[in-house]
Each structure stands twice: as C-alpha cells, then as structure tokens.
Amino acid sequence: MPKKRNNGSERERQVVAQEAARIIVNHGVRDYRVAKQKAAERLGINGRGSLPGNAEIETAVADHLALFGGDSHHDRLRMMRVAALSAMELLADFTPRLVGPVLAGTADEDSAINLHVFADAPEVVAMELDGIGVAYRPYERRLKSRRDRFETYAGFEFHHSHSPIQATVFPIDGIRQAPMSPVTGKPMKRADSAVVQELLAHD
C-alpha cells in the first residue's frame, strides 16, 4: 500500500510540473512558486507531497519547449548558445562560464545570455570591453551565497551576435563555489566553453 501511494504521489508531481511548465511558457509566469500553485489549483491537487520542486519544474519547462516549441525554439536556443560560445571566446581571459536559461534549455525570446566571469576587479573586465570596442551597460546583481547571505556583484550587459549578454563578475576564487540558483536553491550549474560546444554538437 505505501508503495502504491508513493507511485500516485510521484505521478501527481509529474502532472503538476507539466501543467506549471505550460503556465510558465504560455502565460509568461516567471515565478515558479506561483506557477506551481496555479497548476495545483487547476488540477485540484492539494497534498504537499504531490507538489514538485523547482528543479522538476525547470526540467518540465525545458521538455515542454523542446516538444511544443517547434523549430522556432530549437533555432532560438541554438542561436543563443552559439552567441554564448562566441562571447565566451571574447572574454576568454576571465574563465567564463555559461549559466541560466540558455544552459538549461528554458530560454525564450526575452531571455539574456548569462555568463559568470572571474577577475581581480570588475574594472578589469570593463577595460577589456573598452579595449575591444564593445559598448556596455553596467549593472549590479544580488545573489545568494552558500552561507545563506546575499552578496552584490557588478556586471556588464552588452550585445553580441544579435543577443543580449550579461556578464556578472566574481572574484577569481569565486569559480570554486557557485551562488545559489533562484530556481532550485542549489548551487548554479556552470558550463565552460567545452560543455557548450558539446551541447551544440549533440543538438
């Protein structure tokens, strides 16, 4: 009996995740918690054990886009990953890592390409962009560290290969520990250029 209940709960989690993904993609809801609650209400599912985690919803969003997004999603994602790889080559001196929706496969037409770069100071990255003639806009981003604290990082937004790039600057030793993902609450997945090349090769 317990096993049967577990199987039912697992099935409900999948159904809620799929409905939440549909809400996120079709209605532009960005907050995974809100999408999950809306999905559970629509499906009449109330049990806490039947609600998926954000990581499950993120996977469902990627699956939904791959299944229903058609050629337009596939082409957009590939174009953004190619642009990400080119921007990573541009910033190769700063050990760039791809993070976020373009890596996860959940990017849409409003998504930027998010990079983490590593330098002694943000000004070093700004000087590099100035030196190669790239116009940029500075920004600041608050991210949660493993110590359950928020820290503010400088970043630079610019356009490259027809795509918006956001390069957030971390200290050099920041490459050892990624900040927490606002989606999953776990350390962000980071990909170097070799991983992005592999994604494109298997696309």
Reply yes or no on whether the pLDDT at 4 is more than 60.
no
Reply yes or no on whether the pLDDT at 158 is more than 50.
yes
CATH code reported for the domain at 71-201: 3.30.460
Total-model pTM? 0.82
- pLDDT at residue number 199: 94
Residues 6+ apart with CB under 8 A from 158: 129, 134, 135, 136, 137, 164, 165, 167
The structural domains of the chain, with segments of one domain joined by +, span 2-68, 71-201
Residues 6+ apart with CB under 8 A from 145: 151, 177, 179, 180
- pLDDT at residue number 3: 43
Task: Give the SS3 label for residue 154.
Answer: strand
Q: Could you tell me whether strands 163-170 and 113-118 are parallel, antiparallel, or unpaired per DSSP bridges?
A: parallel
Q: pLDDT (tens digit, 9 = 90+) per residue, 60-119?
A: 988 898 888 778 888 999 999 999 999 999 999 999 999 999 999 999 888 899 999 999
